[in-house]
């Protein structure tokens, strides 16, 4: 069974993951509105992944005999400056999520909650991938700029992203 402190912290993480899904959907909507369908697709897939992460935490709380408590989800921004701004914000957001996961791991360690430590290992590895993925796009946009044929080529490349990648 989860301690109250661990359950409360995971419930906060569920909310953070749902916010992440909202944020990426807002970014997707912006990209679609400015005719970057590949960027929009990439962000939509990212939003779906974040929803999956929320459900992993939700199911874990249930499996451990706890109760998920859903909270209000903050409204994400609706407008962004451009592709670089979007992916820089995505990278910064993923870095913040990484900090949150590490804080959860710290609580689990303090409480000798080995099951939660084990579950969080998956998220720790996932965050390495999340930061790498967003960082690669930031680097690409910085290299090619935010307009012109190279951006269209990157847009097409991002359109090829499959769920789970």
What are the pLDDT digits (tens) for 60-92?
Answer: 999 999 999 999 999 999 999 999 999 999 999
Average pLDDT over residues 142-154: 96
What DSSP letter does each residue of the chain carry, written as one string?
---HHHHHHHHHHHHHHHHHHHHHHHHHHHHHHTT-HHHHHHHHHHHHHHHHHHHHHHHHHHHTT------PPPPPP---S-HHHHHHHHHHHHHHHHHHHHHHHHHHHHTT-HHHHHHHHHHHHHHHHHHHHHHHHHHHHHHH-SSSHHHHHHHHHHHTPPTT-
Say whether pLDDT at 165 is over 90. no
Say whether pLDDT at 53 is over 80. yes
What are the pLDDT digits (tens) for 8-24?
Answer: 999 999 999 999 999 99
Q: Where are the domains of the chain?
A: 4-71+80-159
Q: Residues near 85 by Cβ (< 8 Å), separated by ≥ 6? A: none
Question: Which CATH architecture group holds 4-71+80-159?
Answer: Up-down Bundle (1.20)
Tokens 């430590």 sit on residue: 117
Please state the pTM of the whole predicted model. 0.95
Contact 19, 83 (CB under 8 A): no
């Amino acid at each position: 069974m989860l301690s109250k402190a661990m359950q409360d912290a995971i419930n906060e993480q569920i909310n953070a993951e749902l916010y992440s899904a909202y944020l990426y959907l807002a970014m997707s909507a912006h990209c679609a509105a400015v005719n970057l369908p590949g960027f929009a697709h990439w962000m939509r897939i990212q939003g779906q992944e974040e929803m999956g992460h929320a459900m992993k935490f939700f199911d874990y709380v249930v499996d451990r005999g706890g109760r998920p408590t859903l909270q209000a989800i903050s409204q994400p921004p609706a407008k962004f400056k451009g592709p670089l701004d979007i992916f820089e914000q995505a990278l910064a957001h993923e870095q913040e999520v990484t900090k949150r996961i590490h804080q959860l791991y710290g609580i689990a360690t303090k409480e000798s909650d080995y099951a939660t430590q084990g579950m969080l290992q998956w998220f720790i590895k996932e965050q390495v991938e999340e930061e790498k993925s967003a960082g690669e796009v930031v680097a690409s946009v910085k290299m090619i700029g935010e307009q012109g044929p190279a951006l269209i080529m990157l847009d097409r490349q991002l359109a090829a992203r499959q769920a789970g990648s």
